[in-house]
Structure 1
Amino acid sequence: MKGPLFYSKILLFGEYGIIKDSKGLSIPYNFYNGALKTKKNLSANAKTSNDCLKHFAAYLETIDSSLVTFDITALQGHIKSGMYFDSSIPQGYGVGSSGALVAAIYDKYAFDKITVLENLTREKLLKLKAIFSVMESFFHGKSSGLDPLNSYLSIPILINSKDNIEATGIPAQQSEGKGAVFLLDSGTVGETAPMVHIFMENMKQEGFRNMLKDQFIKHTDACVDDFLKGDIKSLFHNTKKLSKVVLNHFKPMIPKQFHELWKNGIETNDYYLKLCGSGGGGYILGFTQDIEKAKQALSGYRLEVVYNF
């Protein structure tokens, strides 16, 4: 048995901000994916995944049935037979490993599921997001539900605010373009829960809240608008501002060895870095107007191009 593939995602803009109603833009990233599989003899990794699914199935039974119900009997039977989530999505890297698993389980075991083939009204999108939020909370303690939503639908999602999300189109990539969005491998795994905890603690300070509203959210919203309009000049202008704000106010979320690299990008304009997901490790997201220049400036690091301008 092998289920359909569910892809990783990249939140281009909106990390942390969407908790406080900034705009956000999330796109599928087909380089990584995962699928439910069943085997008799499980490898160590598959065994870990199978054990995790046991706990997850027990958790799904506790979800309010007015929101969503699952075929728990079938799910538990398949887990007993050796089902696991076979995934190439790196965990703790901010590209939605648990989101893809949540999407796969919903797709296979939810009763009365909302499908991709339907006319996806805003109400349906919000209902899916609410279901996925509760499901993914099992992994992170608190989840917006966006990662599984992106993985499940496999289309770009525009977040206007908490209660206003829509499927969107993004400008076509320019395969010959010099400009690029890329992933930079920090070489360490990031844990979501501790990073979100730091953010929530900071939110208790009025100065931090004001900075979030007047700078972080303002620049994030501008970046989303620029990207969707294809206004590259303005996009890089606003991404630089956003990169500065993150360096000044989100230092704990940036691995120490990248503080200098982050600053260099802003000073030289060769590239601008920002958080990919909650930070603390995993991938860092980069924007550059000249990918060759960025590669030279970041030689010694692994870059993966995600999108070409």
Structure 2
Amino acid sequence: MKGPLFYSKILLFGEYGIIKDSKGLSIPYNFFKGALKMDDNTSEKAQQSNMALSGFSEYLDKLTKEQPELVSFNVKELKEDIAKGMYFDSSIPQGYGVGSSGALVAAIYDKYANDKITVLENLTRKKLLKLKTIFGNMESFFHGKSSGLDPLNSYLSLPILINSKDNIESTSIPTQNAKGKGAVFLLDSGSTGETAPMVQLFMEQMKSEGFRNMLKNQFIKHTDACVEDFVNGNVKSLFGNLKQLSNVVLNNFKPMIPAKFHELWKQGIDSNEYYLKLCGSGGGGYILGFTEDLAKAKKALKDYKLEVVYNF
């Protein structure tokens, strides 16, 4: 058995902000993917995945009993398959902010949910919100608290525009310009980051009125503007807002940026050769970069591995 493929995702804009109702934009990233498998693989990775699925199945059993009106799973079949050695075979790096648990959640829902909402039906806003709620409940097994966006993106394989907590829609983004000089890229920080402690830290900071004001008047303002610009293809305006956003993040989210990148972050803002921002919750994993001139950015970041995600 080999299940369908589920892809990683990149939250281009909205990390932390969407917890407090900012706009957000999430896109599928087909470079990494995963699928449920049942074969004779006895590698340590497969065994670890199988054990994790066992714990997850108990959690889903509980979820089915506690919220049957939201979602129910064929837990019997799921547990039988896990007993036969099923595991999630994935190339998505864990702790890198590209949705490793999201792809797994999407794969399990796709195979074991009863009366599932499928990608083929007319996805009304109501259905999208229901899916997001289901996925949020499922993924909280891994993170403590989840918006459900990563699995939603992975399940639909479509860009998702978050207008607010209760208003999401699948969207189209401008077609890539393969010959364009500008790009969105991933920068490997060389270490993994854990979501739960970073979100906890953010929640602690939210207790301060100064931080809440900064979030509303600066961070969310620039995030919303970036989303609008990106979706509408306003590249010039986008880079103006990106510079502001990158600056706000450097000044107010320092603990989420690996220390060795503080200087690099500032260099980008000062030189205008690239702008960096968090990819997911930060703390490690990937850092997102935006540049109007990829050749210049590559030169400035020659000591790092850049992975191009989108060309302007």
Global fold match (TM > 0.5): yes
Give distance in 1, aligned partners of 2:236 and 2:273.
Answer: 14
Give distance in 2, aligned partners of 1:54 and 1:86.
Answer: 15
Query: 1:166 and 2:169 equivalent?
Result: yes
Query: 1:115 and 2:121 equivalent?
Result: no
Give distance in 1, aligned partners of 2:279 and 2:40.
Answer: 37
In structure 2, the residue matched to 1:40 is: 40
In structure 2, the residue matched to 1:302 is: 305
Query: 1:57 and 2:57 equivalent?
Result: yes
Q: Show structure 1 runs of 5+ residues with no match.
A: none
Give distance in 1, aligned partners of 2:190 and 2:40.
Answer: 33
Does the CA-based 8 Å contact 1:40-1:81 persist in structure 2?
Answer: no
In structure 2, the residue matched to 1:19 is: 19
Name the amino acid aligned to 1:101. L
User: What displacement does 1:300 show?
Assistant: 1.1
Give distance in 2, aligned partners of 1:154 and 1:77.
Answer: 28
In structure 1, the residue matched to 2:157 is: 154
Give distance in 2, aligned partners of 1:240 and 1:215.
Answer: 12
Give distance in 1, aligned partners of 2:151 and 2:226.
Answer: 23
User: What displacement does 1:39 show?
Assistant: 1.8
Q: TM-score, normalised by structure 1?
A: 1.00
- Dislocated runs of 4+, deviation >2 Å: none
Q: CA RMSD in A?
A: 0.4
Give distance in 2, aligned partners of 1:41 and 1:228.
Answer: 43
Give distance in 2, aligned partners of 1:73 and 1:142.
Answer: 26
Does the CA-based 8 Å contact 1:157-1:165 persist in structure 2?
Answer: yes
What CA deviation, in whole Å up to 9, does each residue of 1:243-295 have, x standing for no partner? 00000000000000000000000000000000000000000000000000000
Q: Quickly say closer, same or farther: Cα 1:75–1:299, change in 2 above 3 A.
A: same
Matches within 5 A, 1:100-139: 100-139=103-142
Give distance in 2, aligned partners of 1:192 and 1:5.
Answer: 24
Q: Which moved more, 1:60-69 or 1:208-217?
A: 60-69
Does the CA-based 8 Å contact 1:181-1:308 persist in structure 2?
Answer: yes
Matches within 5 A, 1:174-213: 174-213=177-216
Aligned residues: 309
Q: Show structure 2 runs of 5+ residues with no match.
A: none
